[in-house]
Amino acid sequence: MPELPEVEAWRATMERWLVGRSIAAVHLVDSAVIRPKLSTRPSDGWDQAQSWASSLVGSSVKGTARVGKRMGLQLGEGWVLVHLGMTGRFVRDPEPPRFARIGLDVGDHVVWFADQRRFGCLVPLQGRDALCVGLGPDALDAALDGEGLAAALPGRRAVKTALLDQARIAGLGNIHAAEALWRAGIAPATPCATLDALGWRSLAAAIREQLAEAVEAIPPGEDFVYVTEGGDNPFAVYGREGEPCPRCAEAITRVVQGGRSTFWCPGCQRPGGVAVQG
């Protein structure tokens, strides 16, 4: 599932492809892609989808935004939230690609939202602030320090599980949470309440570094696939069960937390929150 770096890459791509252009036509292939609320169910499609799509013709694309894993487009005076789901992506092509759901024609090209599994959606909003509803501070843009991160993640939950709570901190997913914890040298099962000030500072810095480097690594205008079978794996611990840790050579271990696979190194990720310098 796309995490913050992929959404940020698509936001930057939409900035180049759409902002400053006027919408000449809207091609609504699958009306269920327009939903009155954020939902992964096509059955929640909006009965006014067609009229809303028609109302966009003649409006200009004025800007883009991203909060956590959510992307926003300013179309005329309104905003639309774009949720990529698991397989949502954008394609610039005159003809609809496979799994096309909606296309924005801006004259010299058409930008299509394609989504094989149909979990993704577009949600009309009254304003940009609606993008933030239900979300904690952005994991990258908020630039939380150790004290701020500790305040956002109180309690005794395992730190890896807490990092995935979008209401506490927005944008981290399973992969980058595991990678940030490895960078900080913190065991994923460590209860938040037991992390000391050094641990929180190290983790806050690791999150910023992990996300910033991941954003930088994505080629402009291209899809980015995390790890495919037989393909390259760009991560230090994710998907590397049994392989030597690149920092201490201990075998990487996989455990399940909250129904998700967590990869970590028992050799250099400490339960007490003692950061390891790599």
Where in the sequence numbering do the catalytic residues fall?
2-3, 69, 260
Token pair belonging to 220:
């402009």
- Apex CA 199: angle with CA 196 and CA 202, to 5°? 150
Instruction: Report the C-alpha gap between 194 and 196 in whole angstroms.
Output: 6
Q: What is the phi/psi pair of residue 131, to 5°?
A: -60, -30
C-beta neighbour count of 197 within 10 angstroms: 11
